Amino acid sequence: MRILVTGGAGFIGRPTVARLMADGHDVAVVDLVRPDAPLSGAHLVVGDVRDEETLVPVITGADVVVHLAAKVGLGVDVDDIVDYVSSNDLGTATLLRAAHGAGVGRVVFASSMVVYGEGAYDCPDHGRVAPGPRRLSDLEAGVFDPRCPRCDAVLVPTVVTEDAPLDPRNVYAATKVHGEHLLRAWARETSGGAFALRFHNVYGPGMPRDTPYAGVASLFRSELAAGRAPRVFEDGAQRRDFVHVDDVARAVVAAATAEPGPGLVVPLNVGSGAVTTVGGLAQALADTLGGPAPVVTGEFRIGDVRHVTASSDRAAQVLGWTTQIGLRAGLRTC
């Protein structure tokens, strides 16, 4: 197949392109950045996905588009909002219009776990409930888990599935939700089909470092590389799902070669299926790198998500995909 990968020179893009090429596909890449090393023989176009003059020649003749290009991170303040919306929402809209014009009817979209906001929670008395915002008084008292909005009991976290309500908590998350909505509008109007892959905490070789937008694995890795102890906020018991970038690339390739069905957008969690605490990750990295033990600070940011971990059962059923790299083995590749 001929496959166009936007953002193919990035953290997730590079191993994805390498796998597609190894499987014998004809791969073109559009990326704003020219990589230092060649992309496994793929045809590279340096350009912006918001520019249809860049997109149209390279998308023509493609069978599938894998749309990984995006401005990532959370957004520091409201001044970031225009850049995020332009890069992500306008970029996705421009791509979908170009795909329609070129007769491309299949898209794989890089979504994110951040579309959920908080993860899933159960109340001992009321079952599955949506938590409200955490209270400042609770956080100051060291009660970090959210409470039931009906009875005020402390909630118990569980895994989130693709049918959970979407609750974006920052600008980046809002653009990913809107990207999924744009996909649905495109699919209905064109009878195209798409997978929206909701990546969880991706880590591995090439992950961005020393940036406020980086994931917690990257931040801890940078601290340890500098000989400093990782600083863990709250009590370190925040639950996350860390998935290796090579496993994520395998999921993208599986989606690119699968058929979502005409007019359908299929959301799929892409996570390891293993629950890891933030404190546990910091300790595992310190053990792997021989660095100082993490320090649990008790500090908090009132807007942070407490727990979000995934069930990736649907991806296993639909794509036949499961992870192959455990956390300890994966950390040794960073």
Residue 243 burial (C-beta neighbours within 10 Å; 0-12, 13-18, 19+): buried
Query: What's the distance, CA 98 to chain centroid?
Result: 24
Kindly list the catalytic residues.
172
Pairing of strands 26-31, 120-123: unpaired
Pick from 282, 298, 289, 281: nearest CA to 333: 289
Alpha helix segments (H runs only) across 257-309: 278-289
Q: In the chain, count of helices (H) and strands (E)?
A: 11, 16
Residue 257 burial (C-beta neighbours within 10 Å; 0-12, 13-18, 19+): middle
Terminal Cα-to-Cα distance of the chain (whole angstroms): 32
d(CA 284, CA 265): 37
